[in-house]
A = this chain, B = another copy of it.
């Protein structure tokens, strides 16, 4: 029998302001197996990046989808994004891209938390965007501290 799915809650607590884009404030995740996906850039399998920012965005998220799929996961498993842009002029384009495309990737508007940063440069001059991600795969079921009498568990 396969282990249970992780419990992932994508949250925008009432006591915080509204997110300033298509992302959420908090993920709460109960999981025992994780994926750490290195910053994915807007390049194809041969390492070639299109000149256009939006075309690079498409490749970045396609690559993240492929990385997830390779482990039997999907965008629903994501718990966190970090996005790096090299030109502040691309912030508006990135907002527009996500507003249009994220509803296709994430059901019900549950967009993972994202930290958006404008930095000097990525590993190669041609790259305009890079996104790293953390995903949750599986959850252990284990009993929590039961009645002392019956307790048979120990911690390291």
Contact = CB atoms under 8 A, between A and B. Distances in A.
Contacts of A39: 114-117
Interface size range on A against B? 35 or more
Interface in A46-98: 46-47, 63, 66-67, 69-71, 79-80, 82, 84, 88, 91
Q: Provide the main secondary structure of the chain A interface.
A: loop
Question: Taking the full assembly, how many copies of this chain does it contain?
Answer: 3
Contacts of A134: 36
A32 to B, nearest CB: 6
Interface in A25-50: 25-41, 43-47
B141 A144 contact: yes
A67 to B, nearest CB: 5
